[in-house]
């Protein structure tokens, strides 16, 4: 089992594009002046959860009402729909308050973000799917909670549901009346609240060496944001993908709104990319480590694409993980080397980007290989290899049994 030392943190930080200088146990010192609120209480977000919905979901679970709640929500999909009338009244009242954009949301920026997501969807898909997806398996708190919650037993379904979130957030009408993101984020908020109540009752999670009494704090959600949104921003810049300042700002804004919708307090939501990267240096890189749960989750996730026969080999996938996350993470997860694929990716990926972005006139030799790769991932993650549609998020009623 690899150890996390200061040197490991530094090399990891470099590989991922973050500074990674804080110690794994550093106290919270990110300044709330860098938040969308501009000020804060100073409370460490590690001790902040989502009190109202946590209590409501706990009552629903203890009262055996989860099937009825899922049933009442079965047709609740679009932002334009009102909160289903068949829900328990406390939940309904909560959702009526939560099912709207924050007052500081800027619809023009959100529209620009939607357009940016459409223009850069190929890269974002690979960064979220491979970079963020596999990085989540080396974030111990996330790996342990995902593994020991209900969805951990069926990672294909779980991956498809998680991709619904990314898909609905990136969709062209994500925040419009015709979009789905308000509903998807509220469903996710409810799932997280359910997990906070149920996971501490799992003997497996209790025995896993976890280091928090209640999972999915505001701090944990911010870590996940940095392993996806902030990581994407870093990689796009590193790969030389052209992005205007307005595009970058809009992209961040869609994540700021997403974090708010997931119950993160405004005092922790970074106001600028510089603030976000500073926060990531402090809380993401020092947290990365190997766990047996994460190892197994990574194997399952990487195995998913093998089921979709579009000519993508496991060796190619392994090397793409290493290309994004570095050899340290690749070695932790024991990803076998494939020297031929390593060269194709190292030399071909920058050319693929350059051609797609009209920075070079001649189509590179491996252009279609990369295109197939993205398609294979989409098919594997989105809907069990059958069609590119999303899977509805429902409230779990139990933990992973074994």
Contact footprint for ligand HEM (CB under 6 A): 141-142, 145-146, 149-151, 158, 161-162, 165, 188, 191-192, 195, 215-216, 220-221, 224-225, 262, 393, 396
Closest CA to 192 of 52, 83, 57: 57
- To 5 degrees, how large is the angle CA 250–CA 108–CA 179? 90
Q: Whole-number minimum distance, CB 347 to ligand HEM, in Å?
A: 33
Min dist CB 29 to ligand HEM, Å, is 20
Residue 134's Cβ-count burial label (10 Å; 0-12, 13-18, 19+) is buried
The residue (of 133 and 330) whose beta carbon lies closer to ligand HEM is 133
**Shortest distance (Å) from residue 250 CB to ligand HEM:** 18
Of 165 and 373, which has the nearer Cβ to ligand HEM? 165
**d(C-alpha 386, C-alpha 59), whole Å:** 37
Among residues 142 and 171, whose Cβ is nearest to ligand HEM?
A: 142
**177 closest CA partner among 101, 113, 254:** 101
Q: How many CA atoms lie within 13 A of 91 on its CB side?
A: 28
**CB nearer to ligand HEM: pick between 50 and 328:** 50
Closest contact distance (angstroms) between CB of 199 and ligand HEM is 7
CB of 121 to ligand HEM, least distance (A): 17
- CA 58: distance to chain centroid? 24
The CB-of-175 to ligand HEM minimum distance in angstroms stands at 15
CB of 188 to ligand HEM, least distance (A): 4
Residue among 12 and 190 whose Cβ is closer to ligand HEM: 190
Of residues 300 and 354, the one with the C-beta less far from ligand HEM: 300
Measured between alpha carbons, how far is 341 from 247 in angstroms, rounded to an integer?
32
Which of 221, 209, 215, 307 lies closest to 258, judged by CA? 221
Give the residue at shortest CB distance from ligand HEM: 151
* Cβ closest to ligand HEM, residue 13 vs residue 133: 133
Whole-angstrom CA distances from 117 to 36, 47, 56, 402 are 22, 33, 34, 38
- Contact at 8 Å (CB) between 359 and 137? no
CA dist 286 and 60 (Å) reads: 36
Q: How far is the CB of 118 from ligand HEM (least distance, A)?
A: 19
Identify which of residues 109 and 226 has a Cβ nearer to ligand HEM in the complex. Answer: 226
Cβ proximity to ligand HEM: between 192 and 356 the closer is 192
Query: Measured from the CB atom, is 159 or 250 closer to ligand HEM?
Result: 159
- Give the distance from CA 293 to its chain's centroid: 18
> Cβ 287 to ligand HEM, closest distance in Å?
10
Given a contact cutoff of 8 angstroms between Cβ atoms, the answer to whether 256 and 306 are in contact is: no
Q: How far apart are CA 350 and CA 152, in angstroms?
A: 35
């Amino acid at each position: 089992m690899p150890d996390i030392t200061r040197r490991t943190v530094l090399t990891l930080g470099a590989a991922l594009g973050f500074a990674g200088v804080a110690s794994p146990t550093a106290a919270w010192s990110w300044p709330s002046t860098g938040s969308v609120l501009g000020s804060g209480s100073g409370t460490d977000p590690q001790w902040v959860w989502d009190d109202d919905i946590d209590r409501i979901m706990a009552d629903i679970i203890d009262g055996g009402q989860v099937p009825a709640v899922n049933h009442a929500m079965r047709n609740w999909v679009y932002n334009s729909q009102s909160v289903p009338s068949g829900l328990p009244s406390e939940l309904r009242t909560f959702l009526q308050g939560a099912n709207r954009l924050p007052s500081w949301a800027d619809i023009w920026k959100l529209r620009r973000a939607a357009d940016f997501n459409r223009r850069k969807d190929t890269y974002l898909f690979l960064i979220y799917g491979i970079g963020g997806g596999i990085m989540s398996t080396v974030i111990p708190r996330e790996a342990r909670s995902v593994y020991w919650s209900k969805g951990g037993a069926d990672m294909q379904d779980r991956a498809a549901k998680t991709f619904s979130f990314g898909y609905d957030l990136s969709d062209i009408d994500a925040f419009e009346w015709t979009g789905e993101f308000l509903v998807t984020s509220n469903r996710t908020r409810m799932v997280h609240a359910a997990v906070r109540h149920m996971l501490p009752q799992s003997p497996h999670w209790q025995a896993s060496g976890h280091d928090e009494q209640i999972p999915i704090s505001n701090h944990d959600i911010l870590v996940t944001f940095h392993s996806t949104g902030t990581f994407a921003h870093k990689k796009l810049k590193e790969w030389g993908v052209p992005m205007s300042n307005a595009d970058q700002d809009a992209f961040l804004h869609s994540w700021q709104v997403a974090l708010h919708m997931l119950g993160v307090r405004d005092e922790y939501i970074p106001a600028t990319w510089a603030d976000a990267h500073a926060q990531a240096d402090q809380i993401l890189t020092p947290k990365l480590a190997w766990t047996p749960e994460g190892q197994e989750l990574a194997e399952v996730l990487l195995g998913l694409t093998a089921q979709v026969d579009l000519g993508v080999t496991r060796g190619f996938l392994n090397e793409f993980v290493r290309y994004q996350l570095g050899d340290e993470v690749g070695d932790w997860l024991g990803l076998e080397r494939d020297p031929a694929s390593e060269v194709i990716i190292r030399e071909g990926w920058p050319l693929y980007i350059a051609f797609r972005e009209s920075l070079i006139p001649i189509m590179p030799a491996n252009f279609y290989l990369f295109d197939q790769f993205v398609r294979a991932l989409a098919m594997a993650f989105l809907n069990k290899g059958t069609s590119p549609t999303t899977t509805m998020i429902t409230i779990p009623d139990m933990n992973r049994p074994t």
